[in-house]
């Protein structure tokens, strides 16, 4: 979903997450039917996220998966979790503290005002396209580099040592 398409459901979601003190970013993508949220990787933040999801009475994103394993959200490691929160399909991206994605996303984020006085950091579509193709379990990806460029950098580092 693009920032100019955010509707009332996204505004409500952002309001609920902020009310619980959750640190997060929203990723723009080409899917107008759902929103992608990247939660900050700190342990305390994930605990606040769990409280927010419980307050919103969030459910699993797939019909067969209605219950959310909140313990796995806090301790399960990097991955993507499909949810429904406030009637909105939400893809929750969880990253590890040691992973470079959170800081890379944060640097690319731009503030967007959803309602008077309600701001959310949104990562524009272009910088995240390659990241969305990476598995959530990848650790420390070199953002913006192709596989060939990463291999070449690794070779150069080996030669210089």
Binning pLDDT at 50, 70 and 90, where does residue 63 land? low
Does residue 48 carry a pLDDT above 90?
A: yes
- To which residue do tokens 């399909």 refer? 89
pLDDT category at 4 given cuts 50, 70, 90 is confident
Q: What is the mean pLDDT of residues 93-98?
A: 81
CA distances 115 to 10, 23, 109, Å, are: 11, 18, 18
pTM greater than the 0.75 cutoff: no
Whether 109 contacts 123, CB under 8 Å:
yes
Cα separation, 77 vs 44, in Å, equals 14
User: What band does 103 get if pLDDT is binned at 50, 70 and 90?
Assistant: confident
pLDDT of residue 1: 64
pLDDT band per the 50, 70, 90 thresholds, residue 15: very high
Q: Give the full edge-to-edge strand order of the sheet including 59-60.
A: 59-60, 79-85, 88-94, 35-39, 24-27, 118-123, 110-115
H or E element, residue 123: strand 118-123
pLDDT at 62: 59
Q: In this structure, are residues 122 and 3 in contact, taking their beta carbons and an 8 Å threshold?
A: yes
Read off the pLDDT of each residue in 11-38 and give the average, rounded to a whole number. Answer: 88
Q: What is the DSSP letter of 4?
A: G
Q: Residue 74: is its pLDDT beyond 70?
A: yes
Q: Which residues contact 57 (CB under 8 A, 6 or more apart)?
A: none
Q: What does the DSSP 8-state code read for residue 155?
A: H
Q: What is the residue whose two structure tokens read 């699993």? A: 60
């Amino acid at each position: 979903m693009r920032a100019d398409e955010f509707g009332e459901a996204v505004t409500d979601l952002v309001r609920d997450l902020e009310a619980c003190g959750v640190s997060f970013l929203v990723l723009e993508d080409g899917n107008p039917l759902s929103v992608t949220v990247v939660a900050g990787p700190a342990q305390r933040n994930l605990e606040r996220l769990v409280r927010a999801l419980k307050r919103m009475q969030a459910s699993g994103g797939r019909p067969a998966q209605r219950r959310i394993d909140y313990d796995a959200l806090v301790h399960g490691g990097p991955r993507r979790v499909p949810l429904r929160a406030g009637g909105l399909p939400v893809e929750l991206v969880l990253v590890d503290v040691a992973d470079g994605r959170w800081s890379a996303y944060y640097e690319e984020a731009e503030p967007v005002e959803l309602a008077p006085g309600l701001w959310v950091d949104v990562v524009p579509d272009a910088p995240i396209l390659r990241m969305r193709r990476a598995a959530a379990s990848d650790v420390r990806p070199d953002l913006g580099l192709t596989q060939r460029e990463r291999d070449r950098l690794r070779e150069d580092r080996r030669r210089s040592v």
